Amino acid sequence: MALATEESIRELPEMTPMGNPLDWSWLRGSKAEWGMKPTPGRRGLTMMDIATGAYGEVLDDPPYRSMAPRGADIDPETPDMGYILNHKSQVWADNVIELYEEAVARQWSSTRDIPWNELQELPPDIEHAMCQLCTVLTEIEMIATDLPAKWMWRMNHHFLEAKMFLSTQIMDEARHSDVFRKRALANGGGLLLSRSEPESLLRSILEAKTYTQASALLHLLGEGFILDVFRQGELIAPTHVEKKIFRLSMQDEARHVAYGTMHIRQAIAGDPDVADEIHEALDHGEQFLIEFGTSPVLSSALAVLLGGGSEHVEDKGFPMQSLLATKIFTSYLARCERAGLNRIDRTDLPLDLLGIDLDAFDRTGV
């Protein structure tokens, strides 16, 4: 498609009939990137497909701090929006565009996609334990909407795909709050106890001083833990209805963890000094997580579900809980390694008590 000629533009009016000035310079197209015409793949036109030329060039230090779209001819007088996260390594992750497209493709509906009418009547202790677990989950999941929302308006719009991915996370977590609230009520039970233990962890995430500290606490530590709680939830789900709830939620959570792991890696690569501030945040966060993970309400509900009933909490529930705790923290430490963060030599987690043998530690975490 040819650009408009200078001659044809000169023939156009300079003012509207109302007397307002007109600017026809856009008719000439945009510098060198006019006519890129990306080709859609079989699944359609993805953000990866259009990340070509200047459109796909994500700068370490973008020159502007406005909402002007990356790749456009930007007015040098474009205003400063007050962004404070203006360096790529402060928000970016190499997998973020892929994760955004994946999130869009794999959205689900708690209303439509869960076969609610196939729930079955359960023994009272199992129903109570499931309702208690759902009470905890519906309480804590909204942290992962509040936290990105707190920081997104401070992120330079040049890093659009990171903000788009975090928007999907906000939707995912709203859905998790929704689906666990629904499950607590849907089988004749209801919401049970909300105790104070989760709130310390949630507050530490919300009050983190930097986005990267917050991301380490939320994506790497908190959501990594919840990913494993969802895996446990699928294991102990009494029917296929709960299994589907936990599997679909697990998929969402794993995307958030994948972003966080690679974001922390990018943050440390961009500024190695950042590792210290992340360590500092995790030093505190891990203690809050232990407090939350061992809270009387959560651990007793999980023990009933893992044991298959309150009569088996001691012979089956607690031993299984202990086995899974080893897996959860091994996975977490391995993700930290992948993120470029050596927690093994620094953590105050009770590794012996958690059954983690440092000599045999597999840095792949599985």
Partner 1 sequence: MSERVDNLTFYQDLADLMNNNPDQYETLGEVDFTLGVVMADEVGSDLRLRLRFEELGCTDVSPLPEGGESSCDCWLEGDIDSWGEMFNDITTNGRATGRHTVNSLTLVGDRIDVRGDDPMGVDRFFRFNQTIQQFFDGAAELAPAPA
Residue ranges that bind partner 1, judged by CB under 8 A: 42-43, 95, 98, 102, 105-108, 113, 227, 231-232, 234-235, 240, 243-244, 247-248, 250-251, 253-255, 257-258, 261-262, 320, 323-324, 327, 331, 334-335, 337-338, 364-366
Return the structure tokens found at 259.
């972003």
The distance of closest approach from Cβ of residue 315 to partner 1 in the complex, given in angstroms and rounded to an integer, is: 16
The distance of closest approach from Cβ of residue 225 to partner 1 in the complex, given in angstroms and rounded to an integer, is: 13
Residue (132 or 330) nearer to partner 1, CB:
330
Residue (74 or 237) nearer to partner 1, CB:
237
Residue (25 or 364) nearer to partner 1, CB:
364
Residue (246 or 292) nearer to partner 1, CB:
246
The distance of closest approach from Cβ of residue 277 to partner 1 in the complex, given in angstroms and rounded to an integer, is: 23
The distance of closest approach from Cβ of residue 96 to partner 1 in the complex, given in angstroms and rounded to an integer, is: 13
The distance of closest approach from Cβ of residue 45 to partner 1 in the complex, given in angstroms and rounded to an integer, is: 13
Cα dihedral angle (353, 358, 364, 365), rounded to 10 degrees?
Answer: -10
The distance of closest approach from Cβ of residue 40 to partner 1 in the complex, given in angstroms and rounded to an integer, is: 13
Dist CA 89 CA 91 (whole Å): 6
The distance of closest approach from Cβ of residue 244 to partner 1 in the complex, given in angstroms and rounded to an integer, is: 7
Residue (25 or 107) nearer to partner 1, CB:
107
Residue (158 or 256) nearer to partner 1, CB:
256
Of 244, 122, 135, 155, the residue nearest 198 (C-alpha)? 135
Residue (72 or 254) nearer to partner 1, CB:
254
